Amino acid sequence: MEDMGKLLDAVEAKRDDMVAFLSKMISIPALGPENGGVGEIEKVEWIEEQLTNMGITDLKRYDAPDDRVPSGIRPNLVATVPGSDASLAPLWIVCHTDVVPPGEMSLWDTDPFEAVEKDGMLFGRGTEDNGQELVASLFAMQALFDHDLQPVRTVKFVLVADEELGSTYGIRYLVDNEDIFSVGGPIIVPDGGVPEGDLIETAEKSIVWLKVQTLGKQCHASMPANGINAHRAAAHYMVQLEQVLRDKYPNMDPIFDPPESTIEPTKHEANVDNINSIPGEDIFYFDIRLNPCYDPDELMEEARAVADKIGEEMRVKINLSTVQYEKAAPPTPADDPSVTLLSKAIKQVRGIETKVYGIGGGTCAAFFRRKGLGAVVWATMDEVAHEPNERIVIKNMVDDAKVYAALFLLE
Ligand SMILES: [Zn+2]
């Protein structure tokens, strides 16, 4: 397309406006009530005003009631820009407006809620997670408007609340209560990625955080026959369960890094205070990420069988429970339009080939995949979300905006 060069230059020319927009967004913290915040309402109302000024007037709110915040609502916004080809399903771009708290303030070099530009980067809480891509996609649309261009597909910008604390009042609310996504269409969740921008996330592993409580009998360490050592039994359980699971789940799926299921004993809770006591109780945890070809329900059965075996052999009781248990959603196929369109746009703008990949688990895209809707996670970023001194490389925001501009013009 001959106009493409001009259009991309127009996006580039919006750099400072994009930085100003994102900086203003950063100055309106949107923290969930669990984090002592008042929710997203102020930020979303400000964004609504800006969208109207940009000429995006089809704005629809789907507010989830939440009496823990002063406004009583967690706002979800869908902004629609009609496409030229009504026969095509819309393109969805799903960003979240909430942010995580700054954490330890002394670790920040700048005020987390006052964006600071330095060395080509913009610092502030929420710059990367998830401000950058919201701004990039909106300004790409504005560049189209400036050139009197209309997107080919109808574009739906979806701004959701509550992503950082489980999405009950955000994407989960929308998917479960509002029938807006059933029309289909490619879904992009630009909330994760790599600095090269060449990876498109299409899959995730199941997550099982397993709590292992072993009960024996406490006694003096010099007289072990008087008790039952829960710590030793737990150690046997740790080693045996790992072995059983490794044998049972050997699959190597090359779209993941690492390709195998991961089985890691992690946290251990304090037991006895003194060295000369045999602990009567032991609690530790596994963080397990299971490749999506396996069923975590079966894993739990295996874990119980090993617990019973060790329990009998070592005269302890091993109780299992899960702290987190998320079954992987079905992966988005590599030929889904969300993958093919996005990779085409990236190729057009940057001349690079993309690859699909999977991650350890837990993105917004899973809510769509569980409903049978193809969704991808993509952005160009360093992945410093949730860290002190969260920042973006401003060039990444501008370059991603160019990808969106090209994407909006694809069929
Ligand atoms: Zn995020």
131 CA distance to ligand 1 middle (Å): 9
Q: How far away, in angstroms, is 392 Cα from ligand 1 center?
A: 13
CA separation, residue 65 to residues 70, 71, 379 (Å): 11, 9, 31
Assess whether pLDDT exceeds 60 at residue 271: yes
Residue 361 pLDDT greater than 80, yes or no: no
CB 128 within 8 A of CB 190: no
Decide if 98 is catalytic: yes
Distance (angstroms) between ligand 1 centre and the Cα of 404 equals 19
Q: What is the pLDDT of residue 101?
A: 94
- Per-residue pLDDT for 364 more than 90? no
The DSSP symbol for 194 reads B
Establish whether 163 is a catalytic residue.
yes
Catalytic residue among 129, 133, 162, 163: 163
Asked whether the predicted pLDDT for residue 323 surpasses 70, the reply is yes
**Cβ pair 283, 268 in contact under 8 A:** yes
pLDDT value at position 2?
A: 55
**What residue has token string 């709590």?**
211
pLDDT at 56 over 80: yes
Tokens 């879904």 correspond to: 187
Averaged pLDDT score across all residues of the chain: 96
Q: What is the pLDDT of residues 177-220, one digit of tens each?
A: 888 999 999 999 999 999 999 999 999 999 999 999 999 999 99
Catalytic residue among 40, 98, 129, 191: 98
C-alpha 331 to ligand 1 mean position (Å): 20
Q: Using one digit for the tens of pLDDT, what is the confidence trace for 101-138?
A: 999 999 999 999 999 999 999 999 999 999 999 999 99
Closest CA to 11 of 403, 281, 411: 403
* Domains, the chain, with CATH or none: 4-203+329-408 (3.40.630.10), 206-326 (3.30.70.360)
Q: 42: how many CB neighbours lie within 10 A of its CB?
A: 14
Ligand 1 centre from 166 Cα, in Å? Answer: 11
Q: Which residues contact 16 (CB under 8 A, 6 or more apart)?
A: none
List, for residues 133-180, the tens digit of each pLDDT value. 999 999 999 999 999 999 999 999 999 999 998 899 999 999 998 889
**Mean of pLDDT values over 277-288:** 97
Chain mean position to CA 293: 21
